[in-house]
Amino acid sequence: DVKVTQSSRYLVKRTGEKVFLECVQDMDHENMFWYRQDPGLGLRLIYFSYDVKMKEKGDIPEGYSVSREKKERFSLILESASTNQTSMYLCASIPGGTDTQYFGPGTRLTVL
């Protein structure tokens, strides 16, 4: 059974803090994604990675960076958190050669 885990289910941070969200998958998947999900806006792609140390910007990369030092782990970094980054953050991974995304449970981040 594929498992995608995210480091926290709920997180509360203050404006200006540096925030790390971690995602780990246990199935040796090449592709990993970070989305944010907001009411009325759906899922929007922040960044994705198709291999270790490789990354590509999605639709809304501003204010975020990512790190993929190991194949199983994809981190999302908010360099200086702002209130408009309050959202649900979802990580997903895909095995090579397929389009089946496996999602983690999400991290609900609140920035005060």
Cross-strand bridge partners of residue 7: none
Q: Would you count residue 100 as binding another protein (CB under 8 A)?
A: yes
106 binds another protein (CB under 8 A): yes
Beta strands in 2-106 (DSSP E): 4-6, 10-13, 19-25, 31-38, 42-51, 54-57, 64-70, 73-78, 87-94, 102-103
Write out the two tokens for 75.
Answer: 């981190």
CB atoms within 10 A of CB 68: 20
**Residue 69 interacts with another protein (CB under 8 A)?**
no
Per-residue contact string for residues 4-43; x = within reach of another protein by CB under 8 A: x--------------------------x-x-x----xxxx
Least spacing, CB of residue 60 vs another protein, in Å = 12
Which positions lie near another protein, rule CB under 8 A?
A: 4, 31, 33, 35, 40-45, 48, 50, 56, 58, 90, 92, 94, 99-106
